[in-house]
Each structure stands twice: as C-alpha cells, then as structure tokens.
C-alpha cells in the first residue's frame, strides 16, 4: 500500500466538506452581532455581495482573508471553519478580564423583549419545576399560551419566576434576566382577541393551547458577563 500523501486541511482553507457549516456559522455570527452584510463588509474590507454569496453557498479563503473575516466577526478562524463552539455551552475556557455586572431595570426589560423562548420556574404538587415556553412581552407583561391542566398553566394569583438568557460561547460572555411575578389567566373574550392579534407567542410544541397566561412582573433583575 502506498503512503497517503493527501495534505491535511490548511487552517486557512474552507474545504468542500466544511463549506456548508462554515457559511452557516458566518451568517449566524453576523446576526448575533446585529450586523448587516454591508457593515460586515466594511469591517472585513470585503465586497458586500461576496459576503452575501458566501453565506448562501460557502466559499474558499486564503489565510489572510479568513483571519480578517474572523476578526470582523469577533471570533477565531478555527471556530468559523470547524465550529469548535457548537457543543454544549459553558465548557470552554473562561476569557480573561471578564466581570459580572448588574443590568439596570430598563436594560433588563429591553433584553427580556428581545427573545421568544424563556424558562418558567414554579412550584407544583410534585415539587419545583422549570419549563421552557414561547412568550411575548406586551405592555411590560409576559404572555404565553398553554393548555388547561398542564404545569405551565400555573395557578392564578400564584408567584412564579421567568428567566431568559443569551450565551456567547466564542467570547465567554452572556447575560440573564429574571422576572418574578404573579400569574393571571386571561379569559375575557375581548382581551383574548387582543392577545391573538398582538402576540407572536406561537407554541413550538403544537397541539391545542387555548389558555392565555399573563405574568405580571413584581421584580425584574439582570446580570451580564462582559469585559471589566
């Protein structure tokens, strides 16, 4: 048998087997940073149309171009190529120079309204439970749909906790917002109709979920890990 002389993947090269994931990671990272194609192109000194095609089709880079794109996306070439951060979050090394800070109430509410899935914490006859739900923030309250008799239906007037977070594995950063509030079942027809028109809280779990639940916050707190 002859010796395999196939060269290993070069760190700066997006091979055919990598291109699909590479394109997805570029697009995902750009959206995480809130950048348009034009803004990313300016950061990376590249043509906007080229970056758009890259996200759609994948592509090939020399080492200089790959490093420039990674820097613009505030990540590493290896992360873009191989998705080393695609595993369970929180298992990577901590970044240096980070600190834990409190978010002010207004910023906590802003971050709460930026997501669509949160975790509901409540007491049940079987003990404490934490359940993910799709939600919408309307008028400063948390709205979600569920089915009567389920854990997430909760008890009207009871106190619950609700948490939403975001983790940036690449930079070892993240934030969390916790709401404590009381449960209200919305049953008045006019109010239900208004929620149906305004809410985007479509349950991923599917099935018939006709009970609208509102959490009226009594306390909102938030924390963020970021450079000190």
Distance CA 214, CA 97 (A): 40
Rounded to the nearest integer, the mean pLDDT of the chain is 83
Q: List pLDDT tens digits, range 4-21.
A: 333 334 444 444 434 457
Q: Are 125 and 185 found together in one domain?
A: yes
Closest Cα to residue 141, out of 165, 121, 160?
A: 160
Assess if residue 161 is contained within a domain: yes
Distance CA 71, CA 73 (A): 5
Q: Quick one: what percent of the chain has pLDDT higher than 70? A: 82
Q: Are 109 and 211 found together in one domain?
A: yes
Residue ranges making up the domain that contains 36: 16-82
Distance CA 75, CA 27 (A): 13
Distance CA 172, CA 150 (A): 36
Q: Are 62 and 28 found together in one domain?
A: yes
CATH number at residue 33: 1.10.260.40
Distance CA 127, CA 183 (A): 18
Q: List pLDDT tens digits, range 38-51.
A: 999 999 888 888 88
Cite the beta strand spans of 75-210 per DSSP E: 98-103, 117-124, 127-134, 136-138, 141-146, 159-168, 173-186
pLDDT of res. 84? 58
Q: List pLDDT tens digits, range 141-194.
A: 999 999 999 999 999 999 999 999 988 766 778 899 999 999 999 999 999 999
Q: Are 105 and 74 found together in one domain?
A: no
* Number of domains within the chain: 2
Q: Are 124 and 72 found together in one domain?
A: no
For residue 1, pLDDT beyond 70:
no
Distance CA 9, CA 143 (A): 49
Assess if residue 90 is contained within a domain: no
Is the pLDDT higher at 32 or at 119? 119
Task: Name beta bridge partners: 141.
Answer: 138
């Amino acid at each position: 048998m002859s010796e395999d002389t196939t060269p290993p993947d070069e760190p700066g090269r997006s091979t055919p087997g990598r291109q699909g994931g590479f394109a997805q990671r570029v697009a995902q990272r750009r959206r995480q940073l809130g950048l348009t194609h034009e803004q990313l192109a300016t950061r990376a000194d590249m043509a906007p149309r080229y970056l758009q095609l890259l996200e759609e089709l994948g592509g090939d880079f020399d080492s200089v171009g790959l490093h420039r794109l990674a820097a613009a996306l505030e990540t590493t070439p290896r992360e873009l190529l191989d998705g080393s951060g695609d595993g369970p979050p929180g298992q990577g090394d901590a970044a240096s120079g980070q600190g834990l800070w409190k978010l002010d109430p207004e910023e906590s509410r802003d971050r709460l309204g930026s997501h669509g899935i949160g975790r509901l914490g409540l007491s049940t006859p079987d003990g404490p439970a934490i359940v993910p739900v799709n939600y919408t923030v309307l008028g400063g309250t948390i709205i979600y749909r569920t089915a009567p008799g389920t854990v997430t239906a909760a008890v009207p007037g009871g106190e619950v906790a609700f948490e939403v977070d975001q983790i940036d594995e690449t930079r070892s950063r993240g934030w969390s917002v916790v709401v404590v509030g009381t449960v209200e079942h919305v049953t008045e027809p006019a109010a239900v109709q208004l929620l149906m028109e305004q809410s985007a809280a479509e349950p991923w779990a599917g099935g018939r979920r006709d009970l609208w639940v509102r959490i009226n916050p009594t306390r909102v707190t938030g924390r963020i890990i970021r450079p000190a």
